[in-house]
């Protein structure tokens, strides 16, 4: 028969082995810590900072080392609710901001600040009020890049001791009061109407200039054509006069023939309505005397009789 004492001893040994195995398993579990990528772990040994765990497999001293909550080392984007800000001209505007920051030192982010996200939010609000408070409404609406740069510089300098790096600050929206928005919309409409009137006036001006230029070119071309026509007419008349002159001299006309040609020309001289006075040359009167003597002289005294 099995001795009860031996049986109890065996059960005790088995229980002890099981407890020991569980203890060893717990020790191993607590001694090994795997840190995911893009995270860091802060280790405290007996309540004091010991080291910072990097991503991968890490070995700890069980029951002595303690790992605090992991710190996200990736760049984070935090959007804060709209904040009322008073400008230099005493107008309240609502500004919505976004901050891009990254934890660069897990130890400082754990021990230097209690809640770095809340601290960044409060620091952003305070800095935003200081920066925008020195600008009037128009400057605040048109100087977003300048405000973003000033905010980023101030936040980066202040949060550096917290183990943070502020990469960028963006103003998502700047909303002025409703009354100011109505005035701005009216001003914008008036400005658009003004630009439209200016463009219309410029178009009318250009059209007038083009029309005047076209008329001037047409007048120039017309004048040039008339001048060329006058030159051609003058050349033709000159050539005609020259031809008649040569023909007269070639025929060697006597005074009687010239007087007869004068008589044929007289009706043409008096034909115009504006011809009120015309002059007869002395040579013409002498020729008329010759004609009169030829027609009215006695028959026996005429030449050839």
Lowest pLDDT segment from 82-91, 212-221, 271-280: 271-280
Nearest-CA neighbor of 155 among 254, 50, 80, 58? 80
The structural architecture, per CATH, of the domain 75-176 is 2-Layer Sandwich (3.30)
pLDDT of the residue at 282: 58
Dihedral over Cα of 14, 16, 18, 24: its sign: negative
Q: Which residues on neighbouring strands pair with residue 95, listed in sequence order?
A: 83, 174
pLDDT in tens, 211-253: 888 888 888 888 888 888 888 888 887 787 677 667 666 666 6
Residue 305: which pLDDT band, with cuts at 50, 70 and 90? very low
pLDDT in tens, 170-205: 888 888 877 676 666 666 777 877 888 888 888 888
Do residues 97 and 72 touch, judged by C-beta distance below 8 A? no
Strands annotated E in 26-160: 32-35, 39-45, 48-53, 56-59, 65-67, 71-72, 75-79, 83-86, 92-103
What are 45's two structure tokens?
Answer: 């040994």
pLDDT of the residue at 287: 54
pLDDT at 105 over 90: yes
Nearest-CA neighbor of 177 among 86, 57, 241? 86
Residue count of the chain, please give it: 305
Helix (H) or strand (E) holding 209: helix 178-251
pLDDT at 278 over 50: yes
Helix (H) or strand (E) holding 172: strand 164-175
Q: Measure the CA–CA gap between 293 and 302, rounded to whole angstroms.
A: 9
Do residues 101 and 120 touch, judged by C-beta distance below 8 A? yes
| Mean pLDDT estimate for the chain | 80
Q: What is the mean pLDDT of residues 133-149?
A: 85
Q: Measure the CA–CA gap between 194 and 189, rounded to whole angstroms.
A: 8
Identify the residue whose tokens are 């009687």: 256
Radius of gyration, alpha carbons of the chain: 59
pLDDT of the residue at 100: 93
If phi over 0 gives left and psi between -120 and 50 gives alpha, with beta otherwise, what is residue 36? beta
For the chain, give every domain's residue range: 13-71, 75-176, 182-252, 253-301
Q: In terms of pLDDT, which residue wins out, 90 or 49?
A: 49
The SS3 call for residue 72 is: strand
pLDDT of the residue at 242: 76
């Amino acid at each position: 028969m099995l001795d009860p004492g031996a049986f109890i001893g065996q059960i005790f040994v088995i229980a002890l082995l099981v407890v020991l195995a569980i203890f060893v398993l717990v020790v191993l579990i607590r001694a090994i810590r795997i840190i995911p990528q893009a995270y860091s772990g802060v280790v405290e040994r007996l309540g004091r900072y010991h080291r910072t765990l990097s991503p991968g497999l890490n070995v700890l001293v069980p029951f002595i080392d303690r790992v605090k909550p992991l710190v996200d080392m990736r760049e984070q984007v935090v959007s804060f609710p709209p904040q009322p800000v008073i400008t230099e001209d005493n107008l309240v505007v609502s500004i919505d901001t976004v901050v891009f920051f990254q934890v660069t030192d897990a130890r400082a982010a754990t021990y230097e600040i209690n809640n770095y996200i809340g601290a960044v939010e409060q620091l952003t609000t305070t800095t935003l009020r200081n920066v925008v408070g020195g600008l009037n409404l128009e400057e605040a609406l048109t100087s977003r890049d300048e405000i973003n740069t000033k905010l980023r510089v101030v936040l980066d300098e202040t949060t550096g001791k917290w183990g943070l790096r502020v990469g960028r600050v963006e103003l998502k929206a700047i909303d002025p009061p409703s009354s100011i928005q109505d005035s701005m919309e009216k001003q914008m409409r008036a400005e658009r109407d003004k630009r439209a009137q200016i463009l219309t006036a410029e178009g009318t001006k250009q059209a007038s200039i083009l029309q005047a230029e076209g008329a001037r070119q047409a007048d120039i071309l017309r004048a040039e054509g008339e001048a060329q026509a006058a030159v051609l007419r003058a050349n033709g008349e000159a050539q005609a006069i020259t031809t008649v002159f040569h023909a007269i001299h070639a025929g060697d006309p006597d005074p009687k023939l010239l007087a007869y040609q004068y008589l044929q020309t007289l009706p043409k001289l008096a034909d115009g309505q504006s011809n009120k006075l015309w002059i007869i040359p002395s040579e013409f009167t002498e020729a008329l005397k010759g004609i009169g003597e030829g027609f009215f002289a006695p028959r026996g005294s005429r030449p050839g009789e």
